[in-house]
Structure 1
C-alpha cells in the first residue's frame, strides 16, 4: 500500500507540471492585456509599455515560464493585480470557504445519492425506479447557473426563507479562525446562533453544487447494486434466511460501494470546476470566486496559482479515494 501511495504521488508531479504549462500558455493567449488593465483607460502607450516591462510580459514565453517555475520552487506565487496582495495569502484566506462548500456538497450527495440508487435498484422497473431515474436525468441536465438563479428567486426573493448570498450577513462578524470553516468555528466558540446562520447561508450553494453529484451517484449506485443482487452469495444468503433489510443495507450495499466510491474523486473534481460559477453567483468568497475575478481582470498570477492548487487537491483526493476503495474492498488493495 505504501508503494502504491508513493507511486501515485510521484505520478502526480508530471501531471501538475503539464497542467501548469498548459494554463500558462492559455493565459498568454488571452487577447486582454493585463498591463493595459492595470494602467487604466487614461494611460498612454508609454505607461502601458513600462508596466508590461515591469511585469516581465515583454520577455519571450519560455523565459517567462522558466522565471515562473523558479518562483513556484521558492513558494512565491506572485502578487495579484486585483487585490494587490500576495497570491499565496489570498489562497490561504479563500481555501477554507471552498473546502466548506465542497465537503458539505459531497456529504449531501453521498447521503442522498447512495440510498436513492439502492432504493431504485431494489424496486427496479416500478414507479419508484421510474421517478428516481427521471430525477437523476434532470439533475444531470440542469445547468448549475440556472439552478442557482431559480433557487435564489424562490427561496430568497419570493419566500424569504434562506439568505441570498455570502457566507454570513455583511453586518455579522466572522468567527475567530480555528479551522476556517465558519459553521465549525462558530460551534467551537459556542455561538449556536451564528453557527445556524452560517449553516443557512450554506444551504442554497450546497444544493446547487450537489444536485448533479446526487444524480451521478444514484445512477452508479443503481447499476452497481443491480449487479450485486444477481450474485450467487446474495441468493445463498436469501436461502439461509437473512433478513431483507440486513441483506440489502449491509451485505449488498458494501459490495456495491466499491464501484461507486471511485466516482467520488471525479465528483470532487466536478465540485472544484463547478464552484467557479456557483461561488460567483452566490458571492461565496472561495477559490472559484477568486478564479472568476482573476479571469475577468486578466490577472495571470492568481489564475495560474489557483489552477495549480485545484489540480493538486484533485490529485490528492483521487489518491484518497483509491485508498478508501481498498479499505472497502480488500481485494482491490491486494491488486494495488
Structure 2
C-alpha cells in the first residue's frame, strides 16, 4: 500500500477513534450516578431549573438524538460550561493548552537531544566506562521520583544558586501583550519583545530540563538496545570492509535502520507530555492542561474533565498520524500494509 492510499486510510482510523471517544464520553455522562441536568445546572438547582435545563439541552430526547446533538455541539467547538468557573470549557482549554504545548515541546527537544546521542554512544562503547556511566544516568532518571527531582532542581538552581527565576511562566513584574498563539516565546518574538522572551525562556528552562531528563531516560535505553541490534548486522561489516568511515557506518547506516522504534516511542513520549505532567506543572506553577484536568476531577467538574479528554485524544490521534507518515521519511523503502 503506497502513501497516497495509506494517508486516507489512517485519517479514517483517526476519525473512528475520535468517534469512539465521543461515544464513550457521552455514555459516561449517562451512566454516572448523577443527573446530567444537575451536572450542568448545579447539584442544588431547584426542580424547575433542572426541567428547563433538560428542555434546553434536549435531555428528555432519546439517546440517539441526544448523541447527535452532543456531536454537533462538539463539532462547533462547544465543550460545555465549567461548573467551577461558569466559563466555556473551550475558552479555558484554549488558555491552558498553549502552556502545555510550550513545555512539552521544550521537554521533548531536551529528551531527544539527550536520549538519542547518549544511546548511540552507549551502544558503540558497549561494556566500557562510558556505557556504564550512561546506563547509570538513565537508570537514575527512571528511578528518581518526579517530585523529588523537580523540587531538588528548584531548590538548587533557584533557592541556593539563584541562577533561575521563581516558578511560573513569567515574572510578575512583566506584562505580556495580548496573546496571539498563547505560546509566550512565540508571541514575544512576534511582538519583538526581547524582555518577555528572555524572561519566559529562563522560566521554561528548569521545568523543561526536569521533564526532558526524565523522558530521556527510557529513550537512552531504547536507543542503545536498538543500535546494538543493528550494529550486529552483516551489512555494516560489509560497509566497513568497503572503507566507509566509522561515522558514516554509525550515523548514516546503523542509526537510519535503528530509528523506527525510536521514532515510535518519541511520538508516544510527546503525546504523554502533551497530556500534562501534573506533578511538574504543580511544582513549577505551570498552569497547563494536566493541572486543569486534575483540578476539574477534584472538584467533580465532569464536563471539564471530558472536554480535556477529548482534546488529549485529538492530539494523540494527530501525533500518531505524523509518526506513521515520518516512517517513510526515515525509510523510503517501507511499505504500508
TM-score under structure 1 length normalisation: 0.86
Alpha-carbon offset, residue 37 of structure 1: 11
Alpha-carbon offset, residue 23 of structure 1: 4.4
Structure 1: 5+ residue runs without aligned partners?
40-44
Between the aligned partners of 1:301 and 1:203, the Cα distance in structure 2 is 33
Counterpart contact for 1:280–1:288, Cα < 8 Å: no
Alpha-carbon offset, residue 139 of structure 1: 1.5
Counterpart contact for 1:162–1:201, Cα < 8 Å: yes
Between the aligned partners of 1:157 and 1:108, the Cα distance in structure 2 is 23
Between the aligned partners of 2:53 and 2:152, the Cα distance in structure 1 is 42
Alpha-carbon offset, residue 272 of structure 1: 2.6
TM-score under structure 2 length normalisation: 0.86
Between the aligned partners of 1:38 and 1:284, the Cα distance in structure 2 is 30
Which moved further from structure 2: 142-151 or 214-223? 142-151
Match of 2:130 in 1: 128
Structure 2: 5+ residue runs without aligned partners?
none
Structure 2 counterpart SS, 1:242:
coil
Cα distance, 1:6–1:37 mapped onto 2, change above 3 Å? closer
Match of 2:186 in 1: 184
1:46-85 deviations in whole A, cap 9, x for unaligned?
646666556559x689587665334224431111222322
Counterpart contact for 1:276–1:292, Cα < 8 Å: yes
Cα distance, 1:30–1:145 mapped onto 2, change above 3 Å? farther
Between the aligned partners of 1:50 and 1:294, the Cα distance in structure 2 is 27
Match of 2:14 in 1: 12
Match of 2:336 in 1: 335
Match of 1:314 in 2: 316
Match of 2:285 in 1: 283
Query: What is the 5 A alignment of 1:61-100?
Result: 62=63, 67-100=69-102
Alpha-carbon offset, residue 274 of structure 1: 4.5
Alpha-carbon offset, residue 130 of structure 1: 1.4
Between the aligned partners of 2:159 and 2:49, the Cα distance in structure 1 is 45
1:287-332 deviations in whole A, cap 9, x for unaligned?
2222122222211222111110111111110110111111110122
Between the aligned partners of 2:52 and 2:236, the Cα distance in structure 1 is 69
Between the aligned partners of 1:145 and 1:52, the Cα distance in structure 2 is 43
Q: Please provide the CA RMSD for this pair.
A: 3.0
Between the aligned partners of 2:311 and 2:148, the Cα distance in structure 1 is 27
Structure 1 counterpart SS, 2:150:
helix
